[in-house]
Amino acid sequence: MMKAKERVMRLLNHQAPDRMPCFAANTSVTYDQMEKVQAFWPEGHEKGETMARQALAAHTVLGLDAVRVPFCQTFEAEALGCKLKPGGSEGIPGIDFPPPYSLDDTPVFPEDFLSRGRIPELLKAVRLLKNELDNDVPIVGGIIGPFTIAGALLETVPLLKASIKAPEKIRPFLEVAEKAGTTLAKALVDAGADIIACEDMTASPMLAAPDTYRDFELEYQKRQFEAIPVPKILHICGNVDLIVEYMGQTGADILSLEPKASALLARERCGPDIILMGGVDTISTLYLMDPDTVRLECEKTIADGIQILAPGCAVAPGTPLENILAMVAVAREH
């Protein structure tokens, strides 16, 4: 049997792995796992040791083929001056009001970015994981896409309005946001991350117009991915059919899709080389249903061309362990 890292890297090199890899592009931490590894929130969002311990649970408790940090989407935004809203012991931290900038401001990229906020703890977690996993299990480092970070700097509604009314004004924010994600990604790689997963929630066609992705975000996402020397996952939530063609042009090695998006269309629009990741809806199936339903949904998305089985989006922390294990079991049969 292959080690997890070999399995994943073979697929990335377009060679056949021993079976289908299964891991998460987004957070997969749940309360059950926290109990099992005795590592809890909020420390898991704040302290490198706890974060590493929780991340390890993805491999030791769930049997996933990669571990992933962090578990929230706030590291870059906090370091850029956004106010953090703590998530307590049950939730994940978010960005609070008011945003640091308005549209006519000039955003600044701080020189000491990597030592700001909780970034040093995040990097520490990756180093600890590298030490612990000894290259057997790949480490996924998470960053946030330019459009989404710009949405934190300006607040999402003003960003979306500007994307139609004064689109050129959002460029300086995308610049700074891209630089933030890229700088963090490089530091994560230096610390030992094998893969970078970029979550760009706000760029989803459910929020932004597809033309905004094509005419603005694509350029910054391309630039970012060009600068990152390891394989890249691009995750955008919801039904991304209208932009999946552009997602395929970003330089991402892997596209992470929710079941709401069409894997068949992604294949058709992005060609044979792009690796498709996804499988099961995190709320309506993984959180709410039973292992049998999880298995059925996984089989369906595999039939549609998914190559890495995964939760479609961030796993809700109350998700039952047996449902996630059912997903992993499906991958083991393929």
Partner 1 sequence: MEMKKWLEKAAQSILDQDEESAREIAKKSLEDDMDPVEMINDGFAAGIRKMGDLFDRGEVFLPGLIIASDAMAAAVKILEEALPQDRRQEKLGIIVIGTVEGDIHDIGKGIMVTLLRVHGYEVHDLGRDVPIEEFVKKAQEVNADVIGSSAMMTTTQIGQKKLEEALKKAGLRAKVKTMVGGAVATDHWAKRIGADFFGETPADTIDKLRRILN
The least CB distance from residue 1 to partner 1, in Å, is 32
Judged by CB under 8 A, the residue of 2, 84, 103, 206 near partner 1 is 206
Judged by CB under 8 A, the residue of 157, 166, 264, 303 near partner 1 is 157
Place of tokens 């294949």: 267
Q: Which is nearer to partner 1, 164 or 264 (CB)?
A: 164
Q: Which is nearer to partner 1, 151 or 231 (CB)?
A: 151
Find the helix or strand (DSSP H, E) in which 180 lies: helix 171-191
Find the helix or strand (DSSP H, E) in which 225 lies: helix 218-227
Tell me: does residue 265 bind partner 1 (CB under 8 A).
Answer: no
Binding-site string for partner 1 from residue 76 to residue 115, where x marks contact by CB under 8 A and - marks none: ---------x-x---xx-xxxx------------------
CA angle 241, 281, 24 (to 5 degrees): 95
Tell me: does residue 205 bind partner 1 (CB under 8 A).
Answer: yes
Q: Which is nearer to partner 1, 2 or 321 (CB)?
A: 321
Tell me: does residue 284 bind partner 1 (CB under 8 A).
Answer: yes
CA 286 to chain centre: 18
Q: Which stretch binds partner 1 (CB under 8 A): 46-54, 119-127, 128-136, 276-284?
A: 276-284
DSSP count for the chain of H helices, then E strands: 15, 9
Q: Which is nearer to partner 1, 9 or 80 (CB)?
A: 80
Tell me: does residue 315 bind partner 1 (CB under 8 A).
Answer: yes
Give the up-direction half-sphere exposure of residue 333: CA atoms within 13 A in the CB hemisphere. 10
How, if at all, do strands 83-85 and 254-257 pair? unpaired
Tell me: does residue 327 bind partner 1 (CB under 8 A).
Answer: no
Residue 164, classified by CB atoms within 10 Å of its CB into exposed (0-12), middle (13-18) or buried (19+), is: exposed
> Using CA atoms, how far apart are residues 168 and 173, in angstroms rounded to an integer?
10
Q: Which of residues 13-72 bind partner 1 (CB under 8 A)?
A: 27
Q: Which stretch binds partner 1 (CB under 8 A): 31-39, 101-109, 157-165, 245-253?
A: 157-165
Judged by CB under 8 A, the residue of 140, 237, 263, 275 near partner 1 is 237
Tell me: does residue 238 bind partner 1 (CB under 8 A).
Answer: yes
Q: Is 106 helix (H, G, I), strand (E, B) or coil?
A: coil
Q: Which is nearer to partner 1, 237 or 255 (CB)?
A: 237
Q: Which is nearer to partner 1, 2 or 242 (CB)?
A: 242
Query: Which amino acid belongs to residue 219?
Result: E
Among 37, 62, 65, 63, which residue's Cα sits nearest to residue 51? 37
Binding-site string for partner 1 from residue 162 to residue 181, where x marks contact by CB under 8 A and - marks none: -xxx----------------
Among 152, 148, 151, 118, which residue's Cα sits nearest to residue 47? 118
Cα dist from 190 to 130, 165, 186, 256, whole Å? 11, 40, 6, 24
> Using CA atoms, how far apart are residues 140 and 22, in angstroms rounded to an integer?
13
Cβ proximity of 331 and 299 under 8 Å: no
Q: Which is nearer to partner 1, 190 or 215 (CB)?
A: 215
Q: Which is nearer to partner 1, 91 or 291 (CB)?
A: 91
Binding-site string for partner 1 from residue 240 to residue 259, where x marks contact by CB under 8 A and - marks none: --x-----------------
> Using CA atoms, how far apart are residues 211 and 111, in angstroms rounded to an integer?
33
By CB under 8 A, name the binding residues for partner 1.
27, 85, 87, 91-92, 94-97, 156-157, 160-161, 163-165, 204-210, 212, 237-238, 242, 282-284, 287-288, 313-318
